[in-house]
Amino acid sequence: MNGGGTSDGPGGLMEQLLALIGEHHDTIRETLDDEEYATLLTRLEALAATDADDDRAVRRACQGVRLALLRLPLDHPVYRALDSLRQVAAPPEPTAVVGARELLALLMALPPAPEPVYGTAPDPASGTAPEPAYDTAPEPAYGPAPEEDRLLLGAPALSADEARVRCGGAPPPELIRLRDPRDGDRYPEFQFTEGSGTPREVVLEVNRLLLADIDPWGAAAWWLSGNTWLGGTPASLLGRLPDHRLVGAATALVEGD
């Protein structure tokens, strides 16, 4: 996006990811719901506004963009590029700030989304507007969760009361808490040890890296999605891999820009 091409080394991976977002914007917009897409734009704006000389701020802003993209399907080109970032740890990339600014300028220049398709042609004599082809009935207050959310909510989980018992009080904010529109707060069960049932320390450490208190759905998607570097879903590897491998994989996502 800077006209000179992107680097093939790890230092250019975040810039390549931003370029892919621009290239595949249409399918990203079709895949993410309105709230998820708004989150992505907000995090791109935060990256664009970051001081490029502040390594810590650049790292956290890049992390926010990557977490917003975890909602994409595993076979999406942008998700595949995101997965490659997990395998390489690199210092913060100041050029990502410029890349985010260029990407936002590109998105702002895109034509607006097409208007809804109307079904019935208007009768010139009636002076009435055409009827929309879609159902205009309001959504129920507690409708079904989006498809990917249902998949995440389908994983074994504890209720808020059960989590409180396991934690001996209010669950720590580092634990992933998913809001089920029908059943209330759910805490994925992999976060707790099989013996004592208390929160796993490695999970708390990884969740802090993934900002689970801010983006629990993104953190849950990381734990419950396939990871080529680890050779499986991180949640299924708890107790099977050394803790430092899991922390390293999460760190690669956070710092692999």
Q: Which amino acid is residue 73, in one-letter code? A: P
pLDDT of residue 241: 92
Q: Is the pLDDT of residue 115 over 90?
A: no
Q: Does some domain include residue 169?
A: yes
Angle at 214 between CA 237 and CA 241, to 5 degrees: 10
Domain count, the chain: 2
Cα Rg of the chain, angstroms: 21
Q: Does some domain include residue 123?
A: no
Is the sign of the CA dihedral 237, 12, 32, 56 positive or negative? positive
Domain that holds residue 207: 147-235
Residues 14 and 104 grouped into a single domain: yes
Q: Which of 30-34, 85-89, 111-115, 185-189 has the highest mean pLDDT?
A: 185-189
**What does the pLDDT average to over 83-98?**
64
Structure tokens of 225? 């999605």
Q: Does some domain include residue 126?
A: no
149 pLDDT band (50/70/90 cuts)? low
Q: Does some domain include residue 52?
A: yes
**What does the pLDDT average to over 186-211?**
91
pLDDT digits (tens, 9 = 90+) for 25-52: 999 998 888 888 888 888 899 888 888 8
Q: Does some domain include residue 246?
A: no
Structure tokens of 184? 């209330």
* DSSP strands (E only) in the chain: 157-159, 178-180, 184-188
pLDDT of residue 83: 65
- Closest to 171 (Cα-Cα) out of 180, 158, 182: 158
Whether residue 28 contacts residue 37, with contact meaning beta carbons closer than 8 Å, is answered with: yes
